[in-house]
Chains A and B, each alone.
Chain A
Amino acid sequence: MSAADKPEETRADEKTLDADAKVDLDAVFEASRIQEVFDQLDHDLVGLKPVKTRIREIAALLLVDHVRRQFDLASDSPTLHMCFTGNPGTGKTTVAERMADILHKLDYIREGHLVSVTRDDLVGQYIGHTAPKTKEVIKRAMGGVLFIDEAYYLYRPENERDYGQESIEILLQVMENNRDDLVVILAGYKDRMDRFFESNPGFRSRIAHHIDFPDYRADELESIGELMMNEENYHFSDDARQAFSEYIERRMRQPHFANARSIRNALDRMRLRQAKRLFEARGSITKSDLITIQADDVRASRVFDEPVDGEAGA
C-alpha cells in the first residue's frame, strides 16, 4: 500500500520519530475511535468486569505497540489468539464479535468480520474431506476472527482415526504462520477446555489470552432482562418486575440454566403470554397495553409450579 492510500492516522508510522519526540497518547486513542466500542460494550453487556478489563488491556497493548513502531522500536506483532471459557449464555460469542471490531479498529486485522464455526464445519466425513473443509473455513476467516465454539469436540481421544486431528493440525499451522491474517478464538466450558489443552499442548502454547466468563449474578440477569425488553420496546409493570426477579431466583437453581440465553427464552415466552392475554381480552387496547408485561405473564411460567430442585422447564 502506498503512503497515499493509508488513512490519515496510520500514515505517521511510516517515518521514524526522533528519540526525544513526544507522542500524544490521547490523540492516538481518539483517532482509533476505540472509545465508541468500549462505550457500546459497557452499554450492551451487563457485568463481565474481568472480561472488559482484559479487552482494555489488549487495546492498550495494541495502541502502545503502534506508538512504539513510530519510534522504530522493533518487536513482533503480539499473538492474539484467545480462549474464551464459561458456561452457556455468558456472552462469549457477543464478546468475540466485539473483539473482531476492536482488533479491526486497532489495525490488527484487516477486515473485522467474525466467522463462527463448530466441529461440523471443520471436520469431514471421509478421508480427504477434512483438509479442504478446514481450509475453506480458514480462507473465509482470513482478515478477521475465526471463532470455534466448543472447540474440544475437535479432539476425540476415544477414536484414534478421528478426522478432527487433521483439522487441529491445519489450525495450529495457520495460527503460527498466518498470525497477521487472522485471530483464532476457541470457546467452551472451562473444565473441558482445560482437558483439551492438556491433550493438545500445541494449542495452549499458541494461545496468549485465556479469558474466563463468569456466570451472571441474579441482579445482573435482571438488568440483562430489562435491557433486552427495552430493545424490543417492552417494559415490566412494577408487579411484573418483582415477579421476574423471583423467576430468576428460581430458574437459576434449576437444571439447564444457560445464563443470558435462558433469560432471552423466558422473555420470548412472556411476550407470547402477553399477546395471548391481550387477544383473549378483545375490546380496544392502548399503546401502553401493547408494551407492558404484567405479573401474570411472568407468573404463568412453570418455573413457579415446580419445586426449585425439580425437573427443568420454564
Chain B
Amino acid sequence: MRITQGTFSFLPDLTDEQIKKQVKYCLDNGWAVSLEYTDDPHPRNTYWEMYGQPMFDLRDPAGLMMDLEECRKTYPKHYIRVTAFDSTHQWETPRLSFIVNRPPEEPGFRLKRQEQEGRKVRYTIDSYASDQPEGQRY
C-alpha cells in the first residue's frame, strides 16, 4: 500500500528538483519550512519528530535540501515530510505539507473492529509496522 498523507502523495515521488521548487514557493510566501520524520505514520499521529527547528528567514531551498540529505542519511527508511508554516494572522498553521521520503515497503494498517450493542462497531487503526519497537519498524 501507499500512504497518501501530504499534498502530493498521488503523484510519483517528487524528485529533488521538484522538492526545491515547492520549497521555493513556500519561502517566497514567507513561510518557515521544517523537516519532520517518523516510523509511525498513523493518520492521527500529528507530532512527527522534528529534524531541527523550523527554518525561519531562509531565502533559498538549498538550506533545507542540505538538512534533508542528512535526514535521509540518518533515517533512510522513515517517512520524512516537509511542512511549511504560515504565521499570518488567522492562519498560524501549516500551509503546505508533503512527503519527501518513504520506506521501500509500506505494510499499511490493520482495521480492528470491536462489536458493540445495537450493531455499533468501535474501530481502531493500527500500523502493522508499529508492532515492532521504535527504530525497527521499516
Contacts and interface: CB of A to CB of B under 8 A. Distances in A.
Q: Assign chain A's interface to a size class.
A: 10 to 19
Contacts of A132: 52
A243 interface: no
Contacts of A143: 59-60, 62
A110 interface: yes
Nearest to A112: B59
A1 B66 CA distance: 19
A178 B61 CA distance: 12
A140 B52 contact: no
A144 interface: yes
Nearest to A140: B57
A113 B59 CA distance: 8
B52 A181 contact: no
B71 interface: no
Contacts of B59: 111, 113, 140, 142-144
Interface string A116-136: 000000000000000010011
B60 A110 contact: yes
Given A110-B60, A111-B59, A142 B66 contact: yes
Interface residues of B, number: 13
Given A132-B52, A139-B55, A111 B63 contact: no
Contacts of A139: 55, 58, 62-64, 66-67
A174 B65 CA distance: 13
A99 interface: no
Nearest to B64: A139
A175 interface: no
A138 interface: yes
Contacts of B55: 136, 139
A182 interface: yes
B66 to A, nearest CB: 7
B58 A181 contact: no
Contacts of A1: 21
B84 to A, nearest CB: 15
A142 B52 contact: no
A136 B61 CA distance: 13
Contact of B62 (A135, A136, A178): A178
Interface string A286-309: 000000000000000000000000
Contacts of B58: 139-140, 142
The 6 A-B pairs at the shortest CB distance, nearest first, are namely A143-B60, A139-B63, A142-B62, A181-B62, A142-B63, A142-B60
28 contacts: A111-B59, A111-B60, A113-B59, A132-B52, A135-B66, A135-B67, A138-B63, A139-B55, A139-B58, A139-B62, A139-B63, A139-B66, A139-B67, A140-B57, A140-B58, A140-B59, A140-B63, A142-B59, A142-B61, A142-B62, A142-B63, A143-B59, A143-B60, A143-B62, A144-B59, A174-B66, A178-B66, A181-B62
Interface of A: 1, 110-111, 113, 132, 135-136, 138-140, 142-144, 174, 178, 181-182
